[in-house]
Chains A and B, each alone.
Chain A
């Protein structure tokens, strides 16, 4: 990007340099164009100087060849204008004692800044000063460009996640950085959290501004390749000069395109974004209110909505997202734990949340050809209640997963469907419950043969409502053999399973034992692994 690599001083900046001030400069024309960039400074007395320029030059002259010829003076100015010179500086004294009116009027008409120096002034000092500054700033730009490129390329090749890349970019830019897809959905952000939150709060309005000017420090670069655009990166309120901001944005865009080409698709970024948000919601580390602008920016409708948290065991996020689109339901999808994918539906207030959750679950089965049972929390009207809802849905999913496999598993289960199993799940870490289970099942938990034979028999016997023939059938044993095993169980436990209370007590202990075992074997949730990290950043990942 040659424009980005050519930062320049403005005419105004040149005029404020100490050495220039010593010449007592006065702007006599084109005062409205002093922000023009000065690419180079050129001393020229030739009347046809215009043909020697290539644009962006500040031309210094004493005007010795122009004195006494008004036509040549006007043509001199016009030729500078045609050559797109940045400004003309006329040293008074040698040819002109005062600013020549013809040149001043011609410059004003062209909009060419014309500056006169009232004190004699060695032009060489000015050229040296400006050229060295320009060279230094060019060198700084090249060096920044190289530094950013090296850092980002290093991250890409190291397989760093998108967030790490954005943190690096935000570090250079010192302002919030936002990556969106073409629908203006925010996929990732970086920068100081409160500044990012301020940007996201107003995102809807910002995103709808077509193009946007760069004068206000909003610098956008398109992400895309092979003729297809798929997103953009925005530096939000960059405080440095535009040229450096553009350079940063362009380097960042190049690196992100490379990152995506090497590392996957934009859908992955969308998944990562939803995952960061839902993980922060369920972990409770970030205040729920603070997550509202993020949710809105991620494309979830949040005003006057009913939220329905769902958990799909072993759900593939991409597939769930496809089904959501197919049935036209707005929602976010993310894997929250190994084997547990959350779907947060956002429905209009007048819609029947339970019916639509069931509709989604049924369509999911139909589209995937699986026997998936979706766990649903009760609908939440208030955004603040969504984290509780997500935890409820996870709890229901785990409790339902413990239930015996059943041919007629429902498409949707809720808290009320998991009964005692749900309660035991909630209490499984309580030491009293743990010791109760140990005490009740003591005689069966230890011994080589037991896990293989007696415990499963007891489980089935209780689960079938103490139905001996069904239990025998399910274990493929004869009834006399079953009787012998039940007898052994009763002896070891010291209970009478025909007594309802004793049987119920053993059943509860067994549910608690199974819940505890399940916890030990189950992977921990993502927010338990690294909730602190999300909490510290408070951003979309």
Chain B
């Protein structure tokens, strides 16, 4: 029995200011809804530049409260209007000086379902994230949305198999991986790691990467966003590497059961032997 949902991800370039960036994303939500998309995830820190190329406290101003801040409220109204589940990767300020790289999840009726805070924070040239974010403390939430059970795993998180697995154990059917990653650094991994995670954990993954070069550094963000299924096959084509692009794909969630009935990875795990993985 098939259970097809229409899902979307959106990659775009920094416009130069926050408000026009928000408007571009509002338009993308409308474009997705016009096609009948039921869920849409934006790129990491969607309404800003990828300011982690530099270390400047001026960018703390991009952070806002989740869900009390204006952006979440604005997109709650839009989600309700369009009947669209939205995943909003944002810069979160819990209180002054306590900042996270976070994704808020809004259900199709506009209600706020919760947030995931990025767990693994890099600190390497071009990606000075520890300057801006505390490591996440949200654990591995999976959100029961109108289209299915959704998890979020942000950017650098994707290099760590443990979180993917935790989301699978919590029942995620689709995991979105909003990112900002640049050509040369991770290009050879981008079409390797998420398909491998999709196969290992037997769920769908939507991977999003921004495009273009921004004024704060040389990072050349290469887009190529995609959906990949539990057999590690791309669903339709991968997006282009330079232009703004909305990727809308039909995902048959019944494939989870089909693949898990074939490969019993969850049955055959041996958590009793994994103690060393959690040793400090």
The closest CB in chain B to the CB of A350 belongs to B36
Inter-subunit contact B239/A325 (CB<8 Å): yes
Residue numbers in A under 8 Å from B243 (CB-CB)? 322, 325-326
Q: Does B94 contact A (CB under 8 A)?
A: no
Look across to chain A and name the residue whose beta carbon is closest to the beta carbon of B11. A325
* Cross-chain contact of B236 among A208, A329, A330, A350 (Cβ < 8 A): A330
Q: List 22 A-B contacts (CB under 8 A).
A: A182-B238, A183-B237, A183-B238, A301-B236, A322-B244, A325-B240, A326-B31, A326-B246, A327-B31, A327-B35, A327-B246, A328-B8, A328-B31, A328-B37, A329-B248, A330-B236, A348-B6, A350-B36, A351-B36, A356-B35, A359-B31, A359-B34
Check if A185 is an interface residue, CB within 8 A of chain B: yes
Q: How far is the CA of A78 from the CA of B121 in the complex (A)?
A: 53
Is B237 within 8 A of A348, CB to CB? no
Q: A328-B31, A330-B236 are in contact. Are A348 and B250 (CB under 8 A)?
A: yes
The answer to whether B237 touches A326 (Cβ under 8 A) is no
What distance in Å separates the Cβ of B14 from its nearest Cβ neighbour in chain A? 16
Q: Does A355 contact B (CB under 8 A)?
A: yes
Mark contacts of B183-205 with chain A using CB atoms, 8 A cut-off: 1 yes-contact digit, 0 otherwise: 11000000000000000000000
> Which B residue's beta carbon lies closest to that of A301?
B236
Given the complex, which residues of B lie within 8 Å of A351, measured CB to CB?
35-36
Identify A326's interface contact among B35, B36, B37, B244, CB under 8 A.
Answer: B244
Alpha-carbon separation in the docked complex, A330 to B235 (Å): 13
Is A12 an interface residue when CB atoms closer than 8 A count as contact? no
- B72 within 8 Å of A by Cβ? no
Contact with B along A201-244 (1 / 0, CB 8 A): 00000001000000000000000000110000000000000000
Residue of B32, B35, B246 with most chain A CB atoms under a 10 A cut-off: B35
A299 within 8 A of B: yes
A28 to B34, alpha carbons, bound, how many Å? 73
Q: Bound complex: CA of A183 vs CA of B243, how far in Å?
A: 15
- Contact code string B160-188 (vs A, CB < 8 Å = 1, else 0): 00000000000000000000000110000
How far is A183 from B239 in the complex, measured between Cα atoms in Å? 8
Say whether B237 contacts A328, CB under 8 Å. no
Q: Would you list which residues of chain B between 27 and 76 have a CB under 8 Å from chain A? A: 31-32, 34-37
Q: Which listed residue, A299, A325, A355, touches B245 by the CB 8 Å rule?
A: A325
The answer for the CA separation of A185 and B35 in the assembled complex, in Å, is: 23
How near does chain A come to B23, taking the closest CB pair, in angstroms? 12
For chain B, residues 222 to 259, give those with C-beta under 8 angstroms from any C-beta of chain A: 233, 236-240, 243-248, 250
A477 to chain B minimum Cβ distance, whole angstroms, is 47
- Residues of A near any B CB (own CB < 8 A): 182-183, 185, 208, 227-228, 299, 301, 322, 325-330, 348, 350-351, 355-356, 359, 363
Given A328-B8, A328-B248, A348-B250, do A299 and B237 touch, yes or no (CB 8 Å)? Answer: yes
Whether the pair A329, B244 counts as a contact (CB closer than 8 A) is no
Residues of B that sit less than 8 Å from A by CB? 6, 8, 31-32, 34-37, 183-184, 233, 236-240, 243-248, 250
Nearest B-chain residue to A366, judged by Cβ: B27
A359 to B34: give the CA distance in the assembly, Å: 8
Contact A185 to B250, CB < 8 A, known contacts A326-B31, A356-B34 = no
Cα–Cα distance between A351 and B35 once the two chains are bound (Å)? 7
Apart from A325-B239, A328-B245, A348-B250, 16 more pairs, CB < 8 Å = A183-B237, A208-B233, A227-B184, A322-B244, A325-B240, A325-B244, A325-B245, A326-B244, A326-B245, A326-B246, A327-B34, A327-B246, A328-B32, A328-B247, A350-B36, A359-B31
Q: B31 to A363, Cβ gap below 8 A?
A: yes
CA–CA, A228 and B233, complex, Å? 24
The 8 residue pairs across chains A and B that have the minimum distance between CB atoms = A328-B246, A328-B248, A325-B245, A327-B31, A359-B34, A183-B237, A183-B238, A326-B244
Contacts of A328 in B (CB 8 A): 8, 31-32, 35, 37, 245-248
In the complex, how many angstroms separate the beta carbon of B238 from the nearest chain A beta carbon?
Answer: 5
Chain B nearest Cβ from A354, distance in angstroms: 12
Chain A, residue nearest B237 (CB): A183
Taking the closest CB of chain B, its distance from the CB of A31, in whole angstroms, is 39
Which A residue sits closest to B222, measured CB to CB? Answer: A228
- Kindly state the separation between the CA atoms of A112 and B133 in the bound complex, as whole angstroms: 60
Query: Once bound together, how far apart are the Cα atoms of A105 and B239, in whole Å?
Result: 57
**Alpha-carbon gap, A356 to B8, bound state (A):** 16
Q: Which residues of B sit under 8 angstroms from A325, Cβ to Cβ?
A: 239-240, 243-246
Complex CA gap A301/B248 in Å reads 12
Report A366 CB to chain B, min CB distance, Å. 9
**Residues in A neighbouring B31, C-beta threshold 8 A:** 326-328, 359, 363
Per the bound structure, the CA–CA distance linking A299 and B8 in Å amounts to 18
A345 CB, min distance to chain B CBs, angstroms: 11
A176–B126 CA distance with the chains assembled, in angstroms: 45
Q: Which of B36, B184, B239 has the most CB of A within 10 A?
A: B36
**Chain B residue nearest to A299 in the complex (CB):** B237
Q: Please name all residues of chain B whose beta carbon is closer than 8 Å to the beta carbon of A301 when the two chains form the complex.
A: 236
**B247 proximity list for chain A (CB < 8 A):** 328
Measured between beta carbons, the chain B residues less than 8 angstroms from A327 are: 31, 34-35, 246
Residues of A within 8 A of B238 (CB): 182-183
CA distance A227 to B32 in the complex (A): 35
Q: Give the distance in Å from the alpha carbon of A329 to the alpha carbon of B176 in the complex.
A: 21
How many angstroms from the CA of A455 to the CA of B35 in the assembled complex?
Answer: 47
Return A343 CB to nearest CB of chain B, in Å.
16
CA distance A387 to B243 in the complex (A): 30
Minimum CB–CB distance from B227 to chain A (whole Å) comes to: 12
List chain B residues, Cβ under 8 A from A355: 34
Task: List residues of chain B with CB within 8 A of the CB of A330.
Answer: 236
Most-contacted residue by chain B among A301, A325, A328, A351 (CB, 10 A): A328
Find the B residue at minimum CB distance from A321.
B243
Q: How far is the CA of A242 from the CA of B236 in the complex (A)?
A: 33
Give complex CA distance A330, B236 in Å: 10
